Amino acid sequence: MAVKVIIPTPLRPYAGKQESVEMEAGNVREALAGLTTRFGELKKHLYSDDGRLRSFVNVYVNDEDMRYLEKEETQLRDGDIVSIVPSIAGGARK
Amino acid sequence: MSVSPLRISDALLRRIQAHGVETFPHECCGAMLGRDSETSREVIELLPLANRRDDSPRNRFEVTPSDVQMAEKKAREMRVDVIGWYHSHPNAPARPSEFDREHAWPWYSYVIVSVEASGPRDTKSWRLRDDRSAYDPEVIESVAQSASI
């Protein structure tokens, strides 16, 4: 399926300064894998060392949070837009 | 990646500190809207946000993705970008914690204001390194007035 992945502003320096990337992907997992294969520097900012998507990284398919769909197995259709949106979190002490 | 000083007006800097005082002893948070280029980065406007971490607001803050999208929409309307985020450290130094580092991206400016019962203390800005290993301090350049939009 031909989909568009929107790159958030802070990660554009690691994705050839592009605002979006078009690619073929059958589900969210494949879209993110395609993205990090093409732009290797993105991987550490999206995934933790154990290979899981970082807890503050949220992925939307069109306007729907993938956590309320089939998570990374969410199927994609032609023309779908995949957006990466951070939660901003932190705090004073561990 | 080049790192320019973070230019911010005295008035906006005071608003960040006042927000930290207002929510003390809980952490405050908000978005910083502004312009970034190869040679300069300037905060034009602030968007104070609710701390969504109801379970531990004294030492944690969270801005939900829907609030992030709202801040980005506001920035687009103003033809600027969300260039960073601010939060307070009640009774703690204005230094990023390990928890901060685990939940950050490079490029953003992260402003932290240390707040005590007597009022605001230090205000510092930080940028996460490309390799995520640590933060580097970002110079805050205080200007008399913000650039016009």
Strand partners, B41: B6, B36
A94 contacts on B by Cβ (under 8 Å): 97-99
Tell me, yes or no, whether A94 lies in a domain. Answer: no
Question: Taking a C-beta distance cutoff of 8 angstroms, is the pair B27, B112 a contact?
Answer: no
Look at residue A91 and tell me if it is in a domain. no
Beta-sheet pairing, A88-90 with B61-63: antiparallel
Cross-chain Cβ contact B103/A11 below 8 Å: no
pLDDT tens for residues B111-129? 999 999 999 999 999 999 9
A53 is in which domain, residue-wise?
A: 2-86
Q: Which member of A13, A58, A89 has the closest CB to residue B1?
A: A13
- Contact (CB, 8 A) for A47 and A53: yes
Taking 70 as the pLDDT cut, the residues of chain A under it are 93-94
Domain membership flag for residue A44: yes
- Residue A13: its chain B contacts at CB < 8 A? 1, 106-107
If you write DSSP's letter for every residue of B18-80 in order, what string do you get?
HHHHHHTTSPPEEEEEEEE-SS-EEEEEEEEE----TT-TTT-EEE-HHHHHHHHHHHHHTT-
Query: Is residue B148 situated within a structural domain?
Result: no
Identify the residue with better confidence: B148 or B31: B31
Show Cβ contacts of residue A75 under 8 Å, excluding neighbours closer than 6 positions: A26, A27
Residue B149 pLDDT exceeds 60: no
Task: Supply the pLDDT for residue B59.
Answer: 86
| A92 lies in some domain | no
**What ipTM goes with this model?**
0.90
B99 vs A9: CB contact, 8 Å cut-off?
no
Q: Is B58 part of a structural domain of the chain?
A: yes
Q: Give the phi and the psi of residue B15 in degrees, each rounded to 5.
A: -65, -35
Q: Is residue B149 part of a domain?
A: no
Count of structural domains within chain B: 1
- A61: CATH: 3.10.20.30
* Band of pLDDT at residue B57, cut at 50, 70 and 90: confident
A50, part of any domain: yes
Residue B16 lies in a domain: yes
Let me know if residue A41 belongs to a domain: yes
- pLDDT tens by residue, B139-148: 999 988 766 6
The residue among B108, B137, B138, B112 whose CA lies nearest residue B59 is B112
Token code pair at residue A3? 């989909």
Supply the range of the domain harboring residue B24. 6-143
CB interface of B with A, residues 22-81, below 8 Å: 27, 29, 53, 56, 58-65, 68-69, 81
Q: Which residue is listed with tokens 């506001």? A: B74
* CATH number, residue B16: 3.40.140.10
CB B47 within 8 A of CB A50: no
Q: Number of structural domains, chain A?
A: 1
Of B60, B63, B110, the CB nearest to A91: B60
